[in-house]
Chain A
Amino acid sequence: MKHVLKDTAAVASLLIFAVIVLLAVLAPVITPYRYDEIQEAPLLGPSAAYLFGTDEIGRDIFTRIVYAGRVSLLVGVCSTLIAMAFGISLGLISGYYGGKTDVLVSRFLDGLLAFPSIILALAVMAVLGPDIYNAMIAIGIVSIPVFARITRGSVLTVKTREFVEASRSMGAGDIRIMLREILPNCLSPILVQFSLTFASAVLIEAALSFLGLGVQPPTPSWGSMLNSGRSYLTQAPQYSLIAGAAVFLTVLCLNLLGDSLRDIFDPRETRKR
């Protein structure tokens, strides 16, 4: 973390992201209305009463954007955590044991990867029914292979390091070696991937909501607002622009963060510092 602070882009993105998170967390406090409260008229322009105007049903866009942030961020975090939990386990197992286990797990992951991801998410959502929790699961499943591959990759390098053999020579069991010796040393690329997957999860959620399969109305999510808003691009351009900007900014921050994390964790880069 110390290194992150040295990087201006990283600091800026961290700050902006913190603000976004804060806004989302404090939504009930800072928003003037309920997110599903219908105001006087639809598609009003920005005004003092309605910072970004009102949406197609006459709800305050500002309020909805802030609440949508809650949903989108929650879906992002939870689905990434789900993906991480499964991905890391699979990656650890296949990388550590190798052989047939590895082949089987890898082919399964290839299968998931070869499956068009939106279609996969769509299928999962359709089976489970559209709601926010199922969206998390669906997006989580879609993102499993990335984590699994990255984990497997670093396990393969870490497991050849001598300290792993040292641990085994001292009598440590497989589980202990995997969790105590190998995993901690695979964390940096995983951490980098966390922010990148978080970013892409926000995008997939938006795409799912865009296809009408994400969060259900009247609960707002950035994706669904983006989708509704673009119908009024000529009448109320701020609607879609704001929603798009929210997604874009969040994803940008996360990507920037991931980028500088990558730089920091890159052994070649650190050696010079």
Chain B
Amino acid sequence: MKELLLKAENISKHFPVKESMLRKSKSKVHALDKVNLSIYREEIVGVVGESGCGKSTLARVICRLIEPTEGSIEFDGVRLEQLGKKQMRDMRRHMQLVFQDPFSSLNPRKKVRQIIAEPLDIYSVGTRSERNKRVDELLEVVGLSAGHAERYPHEFSGGQRQRIGIARALALKPKLLICDEPVSALDVSVQAQILNLLQDLQQQFGLSYMFIAHGLDVIRHISDRIAVMYLGKLVEMGTSDAIFNRPKHPYTQALISAIPVPDPVRRQVAVALAGEIPSPIDPPSGCRFHTRCPFAADTCRTVEPELRVGGDGHSVACHLAEL
């Protein structure tokens, strides 16, 4: 087994709800509830789940852009929550983010050179000319040319912008790249370009990825291991192969069957799950999935299932699932 890079334990994040105008109400958005996640070196961990299940929150908590309500994060052997503000900023060099929206993640008022050089500027890496050289290199790495450096983001297509975002993330030679739905906003053909690029980079630099997506096909394509989330909880985690071929949690099963497969022969619309996603403000008691689960039993309604780890490292949080 490879060396552990990141270990997040029992991470919770509750946002206060401004429900009434005068006082903060006691109800909270349970964006994350006791989530455990580990990422090994040079591993790609995919995170899937429906919108609002807490994927982005998890990403932000991990690099401490927001403080978790509880839980601990160990990165590269260092307990992040024990770091001061300044130390944390230094730590962040090693974990960089790639964002979902290539249109809003680049400052439209800056030239590409300034955008990519920003992390270098912040940490005052090298001299000006060294930084410029590094920017040119990075552009090259992500498949753009140095000539693009003097242009503004709006002159680029979505795929190209995503490349710029990736180049920026790579500037400080991070160990972990957190990609928050980096291809969701892209067309299929461009998506393929970016996925290829990310794969190449991972091999080239020995990076680790936390890769968030809501498209299962993408996750399946890129991930070594996959974490499935539902309403702030991690419900299942296992190797890509295990998740897709032997899904244990009913939600994962539904998710997989709901993917519209471009197969002209097997043409039936599978209505996998009935009902709407409950609100994270007052998540259902017991198993959060019980409201939509076709197999829900009484215990599911009252007792919250623990995440149980099976022999092959395949873990699942379901009372009914067999390990």
A165-B92 Cα distance, complex, nearest whole Å? 13
A166 adjacent to B168 (CB under 8 Å): yes
B65 adjacent to A165 (CB under 8 Å): yes
B108 adjacent to A166 (CB under 8 Å): no
Contact with A along B92-110 (1 / 0, CB 8 A): 1100110111001111111
A185 adjacent to B107 (CB under 8 Å): yes
A206-B305 Cα distance, complex, nearest whole Å? 74
B70-78, B115-123, B192-200, B263-271: which lies at the interface: B115-123
Give the size range of A's interface with the partner: 10 to 19
A163-B105, A166-B106, A170-B92 given; name 4 further pairs at CB < 8 Å: A161-B105, A166-B99, A170-B118, A172-B118
- The chain A residue with its CB closest to the CB of B95 is A169
Tell me the residues in window 157-190 of chain A with beta carbons closer than 8 Å to chain B beta carbons.
161-163, 165-172, 176, 181, 184-185, 187
* A162-B99 contact, Cβ under 8 Å, with A169-B65, A169-B92: yes
Q: Residue B133 at the A interface, CB < 8 A? A: no
* A171-B89 contact, Cβ under 8 Å, with A162-B104, A176-B122: yes
Residues of B within 8 A of A (CB): 60, 63, 65, 89-90, 92-93, 96-97, 99-101, 104-110, 118-119, 122-123, 165, 168, 172
Q: Say which residue of B93, B105, B109 sits within 8 Å of A171 (CB atoms).
A: B93
A168 adjacent to B65 (CB under 8 Å): yes
Residues of A within 8 A of B (CB): 161-163, 165-172, 176, 181, 184-185, 187
A–B Cβ pairs within 8 angstroms, 14 of them:
A162-B99, A162-B100, A162-B104, A166-B106, A168-B65, A169-B92, A170-B96, A171-B92, A171-B93, A172-B118, A181-B107, A185-B107, A185-B108, A185-B109
Distance to closest chain B CB from A196 (angstroms): 22
**Chain B residues positioned under 8 Å from A181 (CB to CB):** 107
Q: Say which residue of B63, B96, B104, B119 sits within 8 Å of A163 (CB atoms).
A: B104
